[in-house]
Homo-oligomer: A and B are copies of this chain.
């Protein structure tokens, strides 16, 4: 289970302000903190409100790499910003994301292949996010076919079936679980799957409870990675316990401690 720290995102007030003022302190604090919490990757997103995303992304990548060796997941709708960031990455990165649209596929796959990165593909196109698992799976298939076409390694492709907030789009959560199971059948080796977990609880009252409950369900459906709050102890306990129950780690009475020790060394 790949844990991708969600916190360096301009949508968070402290990060948005830090980016605008080019203040490295909050950025570097979250980079170090999430690394200590065991993040395998750090998501890096300028947020939508920044005008010059290329310059902001370059500054973010350099600023983070000054304090940590944790690899980065460059997250932007501006592919020039992603490419500028990739130029600076000192370790194999992740790109978040490509949509199932031909123009985006043609722009992103060659770039992802060139830089040897992992790539997140979203099950959406110009028409938006589909309602059900079948239509999500069809869009995933477009992205899987593109990986074949461009010679992109399937094991490095992460399909994100796009979970929506349960308080306004409740019928989607179960469709996303079905899509995770479907995606595993699209190719051999199968592509991997990822979720932007916190979306499920947006504006809900008890967000951590909803997040960890859904993450357990998604892991039981075959989820490989999550962009999430890696500092949420109960979420991490849920991940460790799910790994035991899915026979991915060997049970020992101390399994929680073992899992967290792994985090602190990472």
Contacts and interface: CB of A to CB of B under 8 A. Distances in A.
Interface stretch (A112-120, A224-232, A244-252): A244-252
A221 interface: yes
Please provide the 3 A-B residue pairs with the shortest distance between their CB atoms, ordered closest to farther: A217-B220, A213-B241, A205-B253
B247 A170 contact: yes
A87 interface: no
Interface stretch (A134-142, A154-162, A171-179, A190-198): A171-179
A234 to B, nearest CB: 9
A250 B166 CA distance: 10
Integer count of this chain's copies in the complex: 2
B216 A213 contact: yes
Interface residues of A, number: 33
A167 interface: yes
Contact of A217 (B204, B217, B250): B217
A217 B218 CA distance: 9
B167 A209 contact: no
A210 interface: yes
Interface string A62-101: 0000000000000000000000000000000000000000
Instruction: Give the most central of A177, A250, A254: most B CB within 10 Å.
Output: A177
Nearest to A205: B253
A205 B210 CA distance: 24
A244 B170 contact: yes
A113 to B, nearest CB: 34
A205 B166 CA distance: 33
A29 B221 CA distance: 40
Contact of A209 (B166, B209, B241): B241
Instruction: Give the most central of A216, A237, A238: most B CB within 10 Å.
Output: A216
Contact of A253 (B167, B171, B216, B244): B167
